[in-house]
Amino acid sequence: MTRILDYVGNSQERTTTVAELRTLRAGGRQLTQTTAGSAHEAAAAEAAGIDMIACLGNAVAEVRQGTSKLFVSAAIDFQGAVTPYDLLRDAFAALEAGADAVISARGLDCVRTLVADDLPVMGHLGFIPKKATLYGGVRSVGKTAAEARTLWADIQALEDAGAFAIECELIPANVMAEIHKRTSLVTVSLGSGPDADVMFLFQNDVCGEGPFKPRHARAYADLNALHAQIQSERIRALGEWRADVASHNFPVASEVNQTPPNELAAFLNDLD
């Protein structure tokens, strides 16, 4: 743990810092990052020994209720920000709520605006879900030499813009390995192979919470089945209660209170 002062000046301990992330490669270390959107998910990540969390900017405050120690990066371009200055507003709000860095998949002008205020910025290249239509759907980005060259040029531009890290999503593993060797950015691999400073999987994928499993993900639990079981039990319980009401079996004597007979008699006397 490293002692820091957070953005509003409170003393905190963190699993890592931007400065330490930049030295990972030299030490041969690799960290883990997952998502969290609630205090429960954040607390689970901390208890499991995960190093970093990515969350939506408007979820930072709740995530911080679950962990004060994990390094939190906030995605700030999902909240209606249009201009670079909207993005700057959301970035400051996320940092004030407890984020350690911000993530943006926006253009270089947006990154430069954030960096100009000394904000730690993680870029996002490769497959960007909100831009899926530009790729013709969900697919790996960088499978042709031309696409890989464009990707590398974009990464270099992101370096020049002042970002400290880059989330690399669905980049072919062999292309990612070459990028990792050559970039000064802290690399975060989401479905882009093992050659990165930080390995990233969504928590719902790790825990098997959805009906669809992405190719790059590995499920270590089947919470989807448990959620279905919970829903089934919820429906069963509600149905049984409704049936008991209909058959006058709810409530029974042990589930209600009674006023003592003398007190009831006095009350009835007053009513009359």
Q: What is the mean pLDDT of residues 54-65?
A: 97
Q: What is the mean pLDDT of residues 222-233?
A: 95
- Whether residue 114 is found in the same domain as residue 248: no
Tell me the C-alpha distance between 70 and 42, whole Å.
8
Full DSSP string of the chain:
-EEEE-TTS-EEEES--HHHHTTHHHHT--EEEEE-SSHHHHHHHHHTT--EEEEEGGGHHHHHHH-SSSEEEEE-SSSS--SHHHHHHHHHHHHHHT-SEEE--S-HHHHHHHHHTT--EEEEEE--GGGHHHHTSS--S--SHHHHHHHHHHHHHHHHHT-SEEEEES--HHHHHHHHHH--SEEEEESS-S-SSEEEE-HHHHTT-SS---TT---S--HHHHHHHHHHHHHHHHHHHHHHHHTT-SS-GGGS----HHHHHHHHHHH-
- Whether residue 14 is found in the same domain as residue 124: yes
Q: Read off the pLDDT band of 140 (50, 70, 90).
A: confident
- Whether residue 201 is found in the same domain as residue 159: yes
- Report pLDDT for 144: 94
- Whether residue 259 is found in the same domain as residue 192: no
- Whether residue 242 is found in the same domain as residue 178: no
Mean predicted lDDT score pLDDT of the chain: 94
- Report pLDDT for 190: 97
- Whether residue 177 is found in the same domain as residue 247: no
Q: What is the mean pLDDT of residues 120-140?
A: 86
- Whether residue 206 is found in the same domain as residue 233: no
- Is 240 catalytic? The answer is no
Percent of the chain with pLDDT over 90: 85
- Report pLDDT for 130: 79
- Whether residue 258 is found in the same domain as residue 216: no
- Whether residue 82 is found in the same domain as residue 189: yes
Q: Read off the pLDDT band of 66 (50, 70, 90).
A: very high
- Whether residue 149 is found in the same domain as residue 168: yes
Domain boundary at 221, 241, 258, which?
Answer: 221
Task: Note the pLDDT tens digit of each residue in 32-46.
Answer: 999 999 999 999 999
Total tally of structural domains belonging to the chain = 2
Domain boundary at 182, 205, 221, which?
Answer: 221
At residue 78, does pLDDT exceed 80?
no
Q: Which residue range(s) make up the domain with 53?
A: 2-221
At residue 134, does pLDDT exceed 80?
no
- Report pLDDT for 63: 98
Lowest mean pLDDT among 129-143, 163-177, 197-211: 129-143
- Report pLDDT for 150: 94
- Whether residue 237 is found in the same domain as residue 149: no
At residue 81, does pLDDT exceed 80?
no
- Looking at residue 163, its amino acid is A
At residue 131, does pLDDT exceed 80?
no
Task: Note the pLDDT tens digit of each residue in 144-195.
Answer: 999 999 999 999 999 999 999 999 999 999 999 999 999 999 999 999 999 9
The pTM of this model reads 0.89
Q: Read off the pLDDT band of 234 (50, 70, 90).
A: very high
At residue 4, does pLDDT exceed 90?
yes
- Whether residue 73 is found in the same domain as residue 204: yes
Catalytic, out of 62, 159, 169, 209: 169
The CATH number covering residue 83 comes to 3.20.20.60
